Structure formats: structure tokens, C-alpha cells
Amino acid sequence: MDGLVHQDERKVALAELGEQLASLRLRSPDAVRSVQQSLVRHGQLTAATAYVAGEGRLELVDGFKRLQASRALGWSALRVQVLQVEVTQAKAAVEALNEQAGLTELEEAWLVRSLYRENGLT
């Protein structure tokens, strides 16, 4: 993630966070419940990550389970780190931000398909 340019962390209203890239990730109900329990016990330990898409709207890159769990808890906002990148770089960040846990093979396939079909990368 060192090569990505970002702004300072800030609190962002949940309603302002888009989920266009959510189709690149799996979110099991059990995993969301686990994140929800963690949010109740510990609060938000890690900022979600978003990028500035067209017309200045924020699109989530990482933190889809945190977003879903925080909605279920009735929270109004999350801490978010904003990347100053284009959509193709944001999609690549999905992989980079999940380096430790890794993407599933299916998620990797979705990512490659999206970059090829939607962004014309070969």
C-alpha cells in the first residue's frame, strides 16, 4: 500500500459511502456478525478505505463488512482513509489491502474480470 496516495483519515457518514466495488468481495453473514460483535466490544479499530470516484463521491475499497455491521448497529459514520487514485488503482488496492488475509480464488477472479471487462486492462 506504500505506493498509494491518501489523505488524512476522516469520519464519513455511512450514507456517503458507495459500494460499487462490493461485488468483488464475499461477505458471509457469519463474518459480518463477527465484525459487528467486534465493533460493539472494541469500537472501530481500523479505518475503512475509500477513493474519490466521479463527481467527488466516495466509493468503498475496503471495509464492506464494517459498513454493513455499523449499519446494523445504527451507527451514523465510520472512520475512512481516502485514497487519491483512479478506479483501476482502487481495484488493485482491493488486493493490496487484503494481502495478509488474502482474497479467495473467486474474489481474485472477479477482480481480474472487472479490470478486463470494465476497465479494458489486458
Compute the average pLDDT of residues 30-40. 93
pLDDT score for 95: 74
Q: What is the pLDDT of residue 1?
A: 45
- Annotated domain spans of the chain: 10-117
* Closest C-alpha among 78, 79, 83 to residue 59: 83
- Lowest mean pLDDT of 21-35, 58-72, 76-90, 106-120, name the range: 106-120
CATH of domain 10-117: 3.90.1530.10
pLDDT of 111 reads 65
Band of pLDDT at residue 15, cut at 50, 70 and 90: very high
Concatenate the DSSP letters of all residues of 69-100 into one string.
Answer: HHHHTT--EEEEEEE---HHHHHHHHHHHTTT
In this prediction, residues 106-117 reach a mean pLDDT of 70
Residue 120 has pLDDT above 70, yes or no: yes
- Quote the Cα angle for 97-1-84, to 5°: 95
